[in-house]
């Protein structure tokens, strides 16, 4: 059989632990036999990050800017324990944080919906994608524990010396204070990333904040979204038959619970942090969540939402069998391959991505799955497979599809 040709390389970011093992299996069984795979390889495994003083992470982000599409394996974010385990020179920062900062991107997380794994919310028929603003608000806050009576003020000093002051509170006794900020540029990037992604995936975009209470701060988010929408996206949305709307976050939450899914929910930083955990657990499993980082300039980095599955990796090292779910990592590859195909006008590559996704879901729907899914499926008499056999089973399904 002729393998599918590629013109532009994908940026391939390898990672750590169990997901690094799955990465290799996916390439060998599901990609290389079918595609003349062209990638520019970056090893983001912790050992090599340490060896290069994390330069490899920066290089991989730069390569993503150059080529436009990357696929990333889960990576370890070092903590104290990892410092010892890997004998690190420094506690390197989270690769995802570094890449996100360099690409100025927004992260979109969506569940993979499959028959047999029913969401807790019975009317959710299609995935709900959460877009989380990844800058500012309480994640960059400044706090004071107020010891006793006194006056708290909000002061802005312009470069020309002009002062703006607001009294926050006249304290009569002890209390707490918090200062948060955001920038118009970051909010605008976030808005653009959301509008672009909505057009890309032909889904409606919902955005909610608390503008009734926060008449300047949250209202500013609402206004910037509206301004960007009207200036650059309104006509495109109408052409694509999709809709953008803003509502109070309370109203959005109520609508989400009653909706059928199939839309993007844009969230401020904190809301996105909290709501993405709610949505992913309600859809069934973290192992079935995909994640894509989209920059305002239209650069894409695809990955699984879960981590390196450390516990399974240690079992694997002890020579024990593992049943680790590779679906989200497979979908990271198909997402990247489809996008690469789209940008290069490579229809075969796009069709292969669709087919591999169908084969993966078909395998699960036929009752063959990993342990994590077997525990929550509504299908009867399922066969639990180990990590390698599940991938081999997907290959069989793929080959049967012809």
Binding footprint of Mg ion on the chain (CB under 5 A): 273
Q: How far is the CB of 15 from ligand NAP (least distance, A)?
A: 6
Tell me the closest approach of the beta carbon of residue 13 to ligand NAP, in angstroms.
10
Q: What's the rounded Cα separation, in Å, for the pair 205 and 218? A: 18
Sign of CA dihedral 122, 124, 126, 130: negative
Rounded Cα gap, residues 293 and 335, in angstroms: 11
Closest distance to Mg ion from the beta carbon of 274 (Å):
7
What's the CA gap between 325 and 340, in Å, rounded?
25
Helices marked H in 241-346: 249-258, 269-283, 310-317, 327-344
Q: Which is nearer to ligand NAP, 76 or 224 (CB)?
A: 76
Contact partner, 273, from ligand NAP, Mg ion, none, Cβ < 5-8 Å per class: Mg ion
Is residue 106 part of the contact set for ligand NAP (CB under 6 A)? no
What minimum distance in Å lies between the beta carbon of 364 and ligand NAP?
13
Under rule CB under 6 A, residue 76 binds ligand NAP? yes
Length of the chain in residues, anyone?
Answer: 402
Dihedral sign, Cα of residue 99, residue 103, residue 104, residue 110: negative
Measured from the CB atom, the residue of 112 and 228 that comes closer to ligand NAP is 112
Print the binding letters for residues 355-384 with ligand NAP: x by CB under 6 A, - otherwise.
-----------------x------------
Shortest CB 165 distance to ligand NAP, Å: 42
> Minimum distance from CB of 244 to Mg ion (Å)?
26
Q: Which is nearer to ligand NAP, 306 or 368 (CB)?
A: 306
Residue among 397, 342, 345, 343 at smallest CA distance from 369? 397
C-alpha span between 293 and 301 (Å, rounded):
5
Quick check: helix, strand or coil at residue 332?
A: helix
3-state class of 325 per DSSP?
coil
Nearer to ligand NAP, 80 or 402 (CB): 80
Minimum CB separation of residue 47 from ligand NAP in Å reads 14
140 CB-near residues (< 8 Å, 6+ apart) = 180, 181
Tokens of 228: 């960007």
Residue closer to Mg ion (CB basis): 49 or 109:
109
Q: Which stretch binds ligand NAP (CB under 6 A): 75-83, 126-134, 171-179, 292-300?
A: 75-83
**From 102, 253, 286, 343, residue interacting with ligand NAP (rule: CB under 6 A):** 286
Nearest distance from C-beta of residue 304 to Mg ion, angstroms: 16
Closer residue to ligand NAP (CB): 19 or 186 = 19
- Rule CB under 6 A: is residue 310 a binding residue for ligand NAP? yes
Question: β-pairing, 289-294 with 300-304?
Answer: antiparallel
Q: Using CB distances below 5 to 8 A depending on partner kind, what does residue 180 bind out of ligand NAP, Mg ion, none?
A: none
Residue 309 binding: pick among ligand NAP, Mg ion, none (C-beta 5-8 Å cut-off by kind): ligand NAP
Q: CB under 6 A: which stretch of 69-77, 208-216, 241-249, 361-369 binds ligand NAP?
A: 69-77
Using alpha carbons, list the distances in angstroms from residue 133 to 64, 102, 288: 20, 15, 22
Identify the CA nearest to 337 among candidates 73, 12, 102: 12
SS3 category, 48 = helix
Give the span between the Cα atoms of 198 and 159, in whole angstroms.
38
Q: Which is nearer to ligand NAP, 6 or 25 (CB)?
A: 25
| Least distance between Mg ion and beta carbon 284 (Å) | 18
CB 73 within 8 A of CB 329: yes
CB nearer to ligand NAP: pick between 252 and 309? 309
A 10 A CB-CB count for 125 gives 12
| Interface characters, 141-160, with ligand NAP (x: CB under 6 A) | --------------------
- CA-based nearest residue to 346, from 85, 57, 30, 4: 4
- Report helix, strand or coil for 275: helix
What residue ranges bind ligand NAP (CB under 6 A)?
A: 74-77, 96, 286-287, 303, 306-311, 324-325, 372
């Amino acid at each position: 059989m002729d393998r599918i040709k590629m013109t532009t390389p994908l940026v391939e970011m390898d990672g750590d632990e169990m997901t690094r093992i799955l990465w290799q299996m996916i390439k060998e069984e599901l990609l290389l036999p079918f595609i003349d795979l062209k990638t520019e390889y970056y090893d983001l495994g912790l050992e090599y990050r340490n060896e290069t003083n994390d330069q490899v992470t920066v290089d991989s982000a730069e390569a993503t800017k150059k080529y436009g599409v990357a696929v990333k394996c889960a990576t370890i974010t070092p903590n104290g324990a990892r410092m010892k385990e890997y004998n690190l020179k420094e506690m390197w920062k989270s690769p995802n944080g570094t890449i996100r900062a360099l690409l100025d991107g927004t992260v979109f997380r969506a569940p993979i919906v499959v028959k047999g794994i029913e969401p807790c919310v019975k009317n959710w028929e299609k995935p709900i994608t959460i877009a989380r603003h990844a800058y500012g608000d309480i994640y960059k806050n400044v706090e004071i524990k107020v010891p006793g009576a006194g006056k708290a003020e909000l002061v802005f000093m312009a470069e020309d010396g002009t002062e703006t002051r607001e009294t926050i509170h006249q304290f009569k006794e002890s209390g707490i204070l918090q200062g948060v900020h955001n920038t118009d540029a970051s909010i605008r990037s976030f808005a653009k990333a959301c509008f672009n992604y909505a057009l890309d995936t032909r889904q409606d975009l919902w955005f909610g904040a608390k503008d009734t209470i926060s008449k300047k701060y949250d209202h500013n988010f609402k206004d910037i979204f509206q301004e960007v929408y009207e200036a650059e996206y309104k006509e495109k949305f109408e052409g694509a038959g999709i809709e953008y709307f803003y509502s109070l976050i309370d109203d959005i939450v109520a609508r989400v619970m009653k909706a059928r899914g199939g839309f993007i929910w844009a969230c401020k930083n904190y809301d996105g942090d909290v709501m993405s955990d709610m949505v992913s657990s309600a859809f069934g499993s973290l192992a079935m969540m995909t994640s894509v980082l989209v920059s305002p300039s239209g650069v894409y980095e695809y990955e699984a939402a879960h981590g390196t599955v450390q516990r399974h990796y240690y079992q694997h090292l002890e020579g024990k069998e593992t049943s680790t779910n590779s679906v989200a990592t497979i979908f990271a590859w198909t997402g990247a391959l489809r996008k690469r195909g789209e940008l290069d006008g490579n229809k075969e590559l796009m069709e292969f991505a669709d087919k591999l996704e169908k084969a993966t879901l078909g395998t699960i729907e036929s009752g063959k799955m990993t342990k994590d899914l077997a525990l929550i499926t509504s299908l009867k008499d399922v066969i639990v497979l180990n990590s390698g056999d599940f991938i081999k089973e997907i290959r069989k399904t793929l080959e049967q599809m012809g």
